Structure 1
Amino acid sequence: MAEDIGLIEQRAHPMDIVSTGVILTYENGPIEIVFGDKNSQIKLIIAFEDTEDGERSINGKTPDQFTLELTLFNFNDIISGYPLQPISIGVFKGHKIFLNFTVQTLKNNKTHTNINKIFNYTIYRDPTEVQDQK
Structure 2
Amino acid sequence: MKQCVICGKQGEKHHIVFKNQGGLDFPLNYIYLCSEHHRGKEGPHKNRKIDIKYKVNLQNKLINILKKDYYTMEEIMEILKINPRQAKMITKDFSRCREGYKRKDIIKRLMGRRFYHEFMLDKYYDESWNIFEDEMIELELKLK
State the structure with more CA Rg: 1
TM-score bracket relative to the smaller structure: under 0.3
- With CA pairs under 8 Å and 6+ residues apart, which has the higher RCO, 1 or 2? 1
Q: TM-score, structure 1 length as denominator? A: 0.23
Higher strand share: 1
Higher helix share: 2
